[in-house]
């Protein structure tokens, strides 16, 4: 694996041994057809993650380090180790900058949610596109996680 030093962007420093977790208090993500939608329910921003972005996101939030995620990219796509690691670090930093993920300790790696067993398509660098058109509405009606997280359900509704 190529050695690339830690990068810095907007105060976020990530090294290739860092591991990330989804900021689940505020963020929801869904991978679908090889792409992902990510929503920050706290500020109203939402994102599409294209190219190999969904693959990278799933490997990262499963507990793989940036380096391990880049290595997995090289196993599935025709991409050099250096290019893969640079792309992983770039998109991981964007995800950190946007508050969508946070660093975490060296926890056991979880299973990657998507099978990703199709033959790999041509390599495309991960791209994170942000949308802010809902943020103003959200600012007027801020979220209430106290309501969202309380499951007041009837036994009849559990049936």
CB 16 within 8 A of CB 85: yes
Stretch that binds other proteins, among 10-18, 33-41, 67-75, 85-93 (CB under 8 A): 33-41
Q: Which of 12, 15, 60, 16 is nearest to 36 (CA)?
A: 60
Q: Does position 44 bind other proteins by CB under 8 A?
A: yes
Q: Enumerate residues 6+ apart whose C-beta is below 8 A from 99.
A: 23, 26, 27, 40, 42, 43
Q: In terms of CB distance, is 107 or 156 closer to other proteins?
A: 156
Give the Cα-Cα-Cα angle 135, 136, 141 (nearest 5 degrees).
90
Report the C-alpha gap between 127 and 59 in whole angstroms: 16
The owner of tokens 């329910």 is 41
Structure tokens at 135: 């943020």
Write out the binding residues for other proteins, residues 48-107 only, by CB under 8 A.
Answer: 48
C-alpha R_g of the chain: 17
Based on CB atoms, which residue is closest to other proteins, 29 or 70?
A: 29
One of 24, 110, 121, 124 touching other proteins (CB under 8 A): 24
Q: How far apart are CA 136 and CA 114, in angstroms?
A: 33
Binding residue count for other proteins, defined by CB under 8 A: 38
Identity of the residue, 117 or 154, whose beta carbon is nearer to other proteins in the bound complex: 154
Task: Based on the shown chain and the rule CB under 8 A, indicate whether residue 133 belongs to the binding site for other proteins.
Answer: yes
Query: 5 or 149, CB closer to other proteins?
Result: 149
Q: Does 5 bind other proteins (CB under 8 A)?
A: no
Binding test (CB under 8 A) with other proteins, winner from 7, 37, 86, 120: 37
Nearer to other proteins, 115 or 148 (CB): 148
> Which residues of the chain form contacts with other proteins (CB under 8 A)?
24, 28-30, 32-33, 35, 37, 39, 41, 44, 46, 48, 131, 133-135, 137-138, 140-158
């Amino acid at each position: 694996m190529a050695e690339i030093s830690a990068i810095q962007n907007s105060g976020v420093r990530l090294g290739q041994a860092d591991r990330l977790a989804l900021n689940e208090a505020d963020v929801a993500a869904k991978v679908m057809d090889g792409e992902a939608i990510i929503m920050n329910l706290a500020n109203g921003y939402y994102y599409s993650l294209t190219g190999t972005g969904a693959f990278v996101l799933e490997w990262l939030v499963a507990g793989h380090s940036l380096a391990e995620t880049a290595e997995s990219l090289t196993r599935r796509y025709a991409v050099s180790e250096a290019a893969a690691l640079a792309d992983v670090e770039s998109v991981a930093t964007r995800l950190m900058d946007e508050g969508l993920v946070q660093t975490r300790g060296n926890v056991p790696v979880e299973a990657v949610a998507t099978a990703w067993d199709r033959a790999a398509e041509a390599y495309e660098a991960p791209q994170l596109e942000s949308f802010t058109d809902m943020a103003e509405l959200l600012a007027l009606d801020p979220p209430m996680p106290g309501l969202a997280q309380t499951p007041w359900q009837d036994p009849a509704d559990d049936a």
